[in-house]
Amino acid sequence: MNAGFIGLGIMGRAMSARLIDGGHELYVHSHKPAPKELTDKGARDCRSGREVASQAEVIITMVPDTPDVEEVLFGENGVASGLSPGKIFVDMSSISPIATKDFARRINRLGCEYLDAPVSGGDVGAREGTLTIMVGGGEKAFARVKPLFELMGKNVTLVGANGDGQTAKVANQIIVALTIEAVGEALLFASKAGADPAKVRQALMGGFASSRILEWHGERMIKRNFEPGGRIALHQKDLNNALTGARALNLSLPNTATCQELFNACAAHGGSAWDHSAMVRALEDLANYEIGSRERRQSTA
């Protein structure tokens, strides 16, 4: 298939490589020249989104935020100006569900299909082709693009109509942030009460409180390993989509709001680029106490 890929950051680059390795002809564009690793594999570097759209049947974007998608689509020499009826535009960025519905309508008017297909799983998932992909759009368009999704991810679900993929991603990010915060409160409580947080995590792992977040991020909090991973700045963007959405929908999300404030406090302390599990640092500031495992202290002593 002639496919297009716009946005070649850490995520987009790894996803593009998997499409080329899967045997597809890839037309790429980014605000920088295409990485050599992709052109070496045969990717064609295009000068604009418009050029990509005129060459490819399916055009994928993977860019940071809502305004970036709007620019790629409807900006000067954007994708929309290169589209012709029957083509499919697939936005794999994580952006506003409300804006997505508007973008989809405008693309449909050009006789083209739109899929929102945000992912979770980070750069590791992108490299290994194990991303979770949450899709909104028509069943027919989904079926046509599914073979491409399957080269990039493992859990691929058509959630519903346009916007519903982005809504699922927002829901995902709400749960991830709030569970990080839950694990943070629990381990900090245990630690300040004098228990060994590593032992507490271990005791809880088999039970009803267990989750991949207790496993991975609980360990990060105990070992003080806050190298990203998923950066706080990106999770702030996701929670902003949740809270802006909540305001527009007349909906109260009390703990999402608190978690965003805790992320903001991290950012105030230079933590925009910390891993999102470092949200616990804002709780630690409030408690004037840092999670410390006795085992860890003994081993470093």
Partner 1 sequence: MKIAFIGLGIMGRPMAGHLLDGGHELYLHDLKPVPQNLVEKGGQACRSNKEAAAQGEVIITMVPDTPDVEAAIFGPDGVAQGLAPGKTVVDMSSISPIATKDFARRINQLGCEYLDAPVSGGEVGAKQATLTIMVGGSEKTFARIKPLFELMGKNITLVGANGDGQTAKVANQIIVALTIEAVGEALLFASKAGADPAMVRKALMGGFASSRILEVHGERMINRTFDPGFRIELHQKDLNLALSGARALKMSLPNTATCQELFNACAAHGGAGWDHSAMVRALEDLANHEITSKERQKGAA
Q: At closest approach, how far in Å is the CB of 298 from partner 1?
A: 13
Residue 264, interface with partner 1 (CB under 8 A)? Answer: no
Q: Interface residues for partner 1 in 48-107 (CB under 8 A)? A: 97
Alpha helical stretches, state H, 109-154: 122-128, 139-152
Q: At closest approach, how far in Å is the CB of 104 from partner 1?
A: 13
Q: Nearest CA to 133 among 113, 152, 114, 147?
A: 152
- Residue labelled with tokens 């689509």: 73
Q: At closest approach, how far in Å is the CB of 189 from partner 1?
A: 6
Smaller CB distance to partner 1: residue 53 or 170?
170
Phi, psi of 208 (to 5 degrees): -70, -20
Using CB under 8 A as the criterion, what x/- string covers residues 155-194 for binding partner 1?
A: x-xxxxx-xx--xx-xxxxxxxxxx-xxx-xxxxxx-xxx
Distance, CA of 299 to CA of 278 (rounded, Å): 23
At 6, is the secondary structure helix, strand, or coil?
A: strand
Instruction: Clarify whether 169 is annotated catalytic.
Output: yes
Using CB under 8 A as the criterion, what x/- string covers residues 223-242 for binding partner 1?
A: -------------------x
Distance, CA of 182 to CA of 214 (rounded, Å): 9
Q: At closest approach, how far in Å is the CB of 300 from partner 1?
A: 19
Q: Which of 32, 41, 169, 199 is catalytic?
A: 169
Name the residue type at position 147.
Answer: P
Smaller CB distance to partner 1: residue 84 or 210?
210
For residue 283 the two structure tokens come to 């709780």
Residues forming the active site: 169
